[in-house]
Amino acid sequence: MLKLYNSLSRTKEEFKPIKEGQVKMYTCGPTVYWYAHIGNMRAYIFMDILRRVLKYNGYKVNGVMNITDVGHKTSDEDAGEDKMVVAATREHKSVYKIAEFYTKHFMEDIQALNIGKPEHIVKATEHIKEMQQIVMTLLKKGFAYELDDGIYFDVSKFPSYGSLSGIKADDRLAGARVEINEQKRNPADFALWKKAEPNHIMQWESPWGMGYPGWHIECSAMSRKYLGDHFDIHTGGIDHLTIHHENEIAQNDCSCGHKSVNYWIHSEFLLVDGGKMSKSLGNVYTVPELVSRGFKALDYRYFCLNTHYHNKLNFTFAGLDSAKIGYERLRNLVLLHKTGENKVNAETLEKYHALFLDAINDDLNLPKALGIVWEMLKTEEKSEDIYNLTVEFDSVFGLDLDKAEVENQKQEIPQIVVELANQRLLARKNKDFALSDKLREELKQNGYAVKDNALGYELTKI
């Protein structure tokens, strides 16, 4: 039985699809105004793992992900400038060229990370009509109203507004730093459609004059076009829960007249060095950047899989180094089994299979599932049966374990050595140099020399 944590009920629930054997799932995609960073990629790795687990359980998945190429303001609360317009001005390119450029990079990154593409990847700018239709329905049903600068959703007409986050409409925006439109009926009312100034770069004809959509309406229009008015799962990063997803629920439920999504599932944030990634700190890393520093994209995937999606994950280069070493060791063990001649009895294999299934079906407990694979691979008698089962499990991990190559064998570093090196790194961080020297000596006794570098450390065999 597959259990998933539903942000709507704030509990782990048994997953029951609307239609037997099928899952309709929507994921908020990237705003293509800049390179996607490794935090964004954590959200898409989560989406991918969920899709893989659903497929492992025999479901046919129909997934949709949007590409936001218009309408996402620099603040989620409709304030600031359109991120796409800012990028076009910065790079002296058309908005469409910007979207094309960063979408291409995004696609390359997800491919490098083995993130399977959802069945439909769709652009906001190609769904303007569908967005306008929902706005018209909301106006007709009395959930929206027109102001000088656009059409707004009236949150007071939707009493359950805020039920996803637990933040009621009345408690919103008090003291927030957004420019409040004085004409709005309620501070939390949000723009469905904005009327454009004559010189605004992107604008379309509409029943309300030339204009452009609000960001939230995009996801409503694209999810419903491809998945219908009622679908199973909606995913996104945790930062979208309080505003973007509340607004999607309001738009969908009020225009269709019923609940539109059964399970809302959110992935937690990636921190860098314990804090937020920010350009000013110079710590907004991308996948190609990790690769240029000597990592494989899949080292980062392995790094992510070791933390449950529901927990914050702190990125450091030392952590990524450990993941790289762990992943290498894993591949080496897989290789040893590939040519293993021992037979493993069916009962033992079934035991591992059951443990694995329990772990992934317990709200995608991938760290536990990986632990089970490690345990299985550490079996003394190497066996092709274990190799085959590992490759089957890898349909969920997506770590290319069947492609492990012999060359990795020579690089295997004993776990004890990695642990000592990590302890030493920590000691250095804490400026405990006496301990650090002691650990260097212990490493030497274990046959390894350690050298510090910008990424943490490098180990070489003496």
User: CA of 134: how far to CAs of 127, 138, 216, 401, in Å?
Assistant: 11, 6, 12, 46
Residue 369 touches Zn ion, criterion: CB under 5 A: no
Closest to ligand AMP by CB, 52 or 184: 52
Q: Whole-angstrom Cα distance, residue 374 to residue 368? A: 10
Residue 67 touches Zn ion, criterion: CB under 5 A: no
Residue 398 contacts which entry, Zn ion, ligand AMP, none (Cβ below 5-8 A, type-dependent): none
Residue 219 contacts which entry, Zn ion, ligand AMP, none (Cβ below 5-8 A, type-dependent): Zn ion
Unique residue bearing structure tokens 């929507």:
26
Residue 286 DSSP one-character state: -
Task: Out of 4, 25, 28, 360, name the contact with Zn ion by CB under 5 A.
Answer: 28
Residue 204 DSSP one-character state: B
Q: Can you give the binding site for ligand AMP, defined by CB under 6 A? A: 28, 30-31, 39-40, 42-43, 236-237, 239-240, 269-270, 277
At its nearest, how many Å lie between ligand AMP and the CB of residue 20? 29
Closest to Zn ion by CB, 28 or 155: 28
Task: Out of 113, 219, 227, 369, name the contact with Zn ion by CB under 5 A.
Answer: 219
Question: What is the phi/psi pair of residue 317, to 5°?
Answer: -70, -30
Contact between residue 401 and residue 391 where contact means Cβ atoms under 8 Å apart: yes
Give the alpha-carbon dihedral of 155, 157, 163, 166, to 10 degrees. 50
Residue 101 contacts which entry, Zn ion, ligand AMP, none (Cβ below 5-8 A, type-dependent): none
Residue 304 touches Zn ion, criterion: CB under 5 A: no
Q: Whole-angstrom Cα distance, residue 239 to residue 354? A: 34
Half-sphere exposure of 221 (CA within 13 A, CB side): 27
If we measure between CA atoms, which residue out of 130, 126, 141 comes closest to residue 227? 130
Residue 38 contacts which entry, Zn ion, ligand AMP, none (Cβ below 5-8 A, type-dependent): none
At its nearest, how many Å lie between ligand AMP and the CB of residue 378? 32
Closest to ligand AMP by CB, 204 or 269: 269
Our CA angle for 325, 267, 62, nearest 5°, is: 100
* Number of residues near Zn ion (by CB under 5 A): 2
At its nearest, how many Å lie between ligand AMP and the CB of residue 238? 7
At its nearest, how many Å lie between ligand AMP and the CB of residue 357? 27
At its nearest, how many Å lie between ligand AMP and the CB of residue 39? 3
